[in-house]
Amino acid sequence: MNATSAEQASAPVTEDALRSVLLAGERPSRPGPVLTSLTFGWRALLKIKHVPEQLVDVTMFPIMFTLMFTYLFGGALAGSTQEYLQFLLPGILVQANVMITMNTGITLNTDIQKGVFDRFRSLPVWRPSPLVGALLGDLVRYSIGSAIVITLGLVLGFRPEGGAVGVVLSVVLLLVFSFCLSWLWTMLSLILRTPNSVAGVSMMVMFPLTFVSNIFVDPKTMPGWMQAVVEVNPITHLATVVRGLMDGSVPAGEIGWVLVSSVLLVAVFGPITMVLYRNKK
């Protein structure tokens, strides 16, 4: 109804106006990869502005998980909820961020379904920039999620020995890792056909990845084979690093581990994503 009234009110397309815009449409010089990526990042932010509901996964989920795990399992696992919170919070921060990365794939797949992506692919811009831009926009989401978890933790009584520096460093590392992990989801979203299937498969990967780690419990109580899995899971190392930094220590070896796995994630899934992107039907 709204739309129709505006259409009636809008001026018809005039030949003169059309001519003048066509004549004025000279091509400016081509922008570089950084600028185009940032521009796509700006698009992601605009989408957050217009569809704030999409922030549910970065707000409600982390809150729910932190509260649930602290109060459901805290007493049983660590003797008291306070002590468990001290152990859990860095881990839940990792889990929250890693979960939020899934959204990347779902958003990208929606773009593909709606045809927006073909318009981007038809532009003479640095080819990975729509993807890189989307991931840059996601950094904002991760930051929001992290801020919420940390704030909630502080309110509930979590006290990081590492202070503000430790907290900030661990968030930075988390952003780096999340950015790199997202290439896995971009790849999936180019393979699978619907946003729903992307969500389904992502969940299937995500649950074991985050739960079979040291996020929730100390792996010592697990069977040996599972400890072995936990040991190679990059999420475990990330959680160890975040725990360490927040606790005031600098686990250099573990940080190296996280950075190497981040680089590997991009090195493997980045090129695959780009090949799929180029040949997308």
Partner 1 sequence: MGKRAIETRGLKKSFGKTHAVAGVDLAVSAGGVYGVLGPNGAGKTTTIRMLATLLHPDAGEAQVLGYDVVRDAQAVRSRVGLTGQFASVDEDLTGVENLLLLARLLGYSRRLGRERATDLLDAFGLAEAADRQVKKYSGGMRRRIDIAASLVVTPELIFLDEPTTGLDPRSRNQVWEIVRGMVAEGATVLLTTQYLDEADQLADRIAVIDHGKVIAEGTSGELKASVGAGSLHVRLRAPEQRAEAERVLAGVLEVPAEPSADPAALSARISDPERVARSLAELSRSGIDVTEFALGQPSLDEVFLALTGHAAEETPEEDAA
Burial 177-189 (b: 16+ CB within 10 A, else e): bbbbbbbbbbbbb
Q: By CB under 8 A, is residue 9 in contact with partner 1?
A: yes
Output the smallest distance, CB 140 to partner 1, in A: 16
Q: By CB under 8 A, is residue 251 in contact with partner 1?
A: no
C-beta of residue 200 within 8 angstroms of C-beta of residue 188: no
Size of the site for partner 1 (CB under 8 A): 52
Return all residues near 231 (Cβ < 8 A) that are at least 6 apart: 219
Q: By CB under 8 A, is residue 204 in contact with partner 1?
A: no
Shorter beta-carbon distance to partner 1: residue 23 or 76:
23
Which one among 53, 76, 122, 155 touches partner 1, defined by CB under 8 A?
A: 122
Which one among 56, 64, 116, 260 touches partner 1, defined by CB under 8 A?
A: 116
Task: Tell me which stretch binds partner 1 (CB under 8 A): 76-84, 109-117, 239-247, 263-271.
Answer: 109-117
C-beta of residue 250 within 8 angstroms of C-beta of residue 168: no
Per DSSP, the three-state class of 122 is coil
Which one among 76, 115, 225, 232 touches partner 1, defined by CB under 8 A?
A: 115
Enter the tokens of residue 155. Answer: 């309110």
Q: By CB under 8 A, is residue 114 in contact with partner 1?
A: yes
Return all residues near 173 (Cβ < 8 A) that are at least 6 apart: 238, 241, 242, 245, 255, 258
Q: Secondary structure of the chain: what % helix, strand, coil (to 5)?
A: 80, 0, 20
In this structure, is the dihedral angle defined by the CA atoms of residues 157, 244, 143 and 56, taken in order, positive or negative? negative
Closest CA to 199 of 94, 278, 101, 133: 101
Please state, in angstroms and rounded to a whole number, the distance separating the CA atoms of residues 189 and 111: 10
Q: By CB under 8 A, is residue 121 in contact with partner 1?
A: yes
Residues 32-61 close enough to bind partner 1 by CB under 8 A: 35-36, 39-40, 42-43, 46-47, 50-51
Q: By CB under 8 A, is residue 19 in contact with partner 1?
A: yes
Please state, in angstroms and rounded to a whole number, the distance separating the CA atoms of residues 221 and 256: 27
13: Cα separation from own chain's centroid:
43
Task: Tell me which stretch binds partner 1 (CB under 8 A): 57-65, 198-206, 207-215, 273-281.
Answer: 273-281
Shorter beta-carbon distance to partner 1: residue 121 or 227:
121
Neighbours of 272 (CB within 10 A): 15
Q: By CB under 8 A, is residue 24 in contact with partner 1?
A: yes
Q: By CB under 8 A, is residue 28 in contact with partner 1?
A: yes
Enter the tokens of residue 149. Answer: 């978890």
Task: Tell me which stretch binds partner 1 (CB under 8 A): 115-123, 142-150, 185-193, 227-235.
Answer: 115-123
Shorter beta-carbon distance to partner 1: residue 26 or 232:
26
Q: By CB under 8 A, is residue 124 in contact with partner 1?
A: yes
Output the smallest distance, CB 44 to partner 1, in A: 10
Interface residues toward partner 1, by CB under 8 A:
2-4, 6-7, 9-15, 17-31, 35-36, 39-40, 42-43, 46-47, 50-51, 111, 114-116, 118-125, 279-281
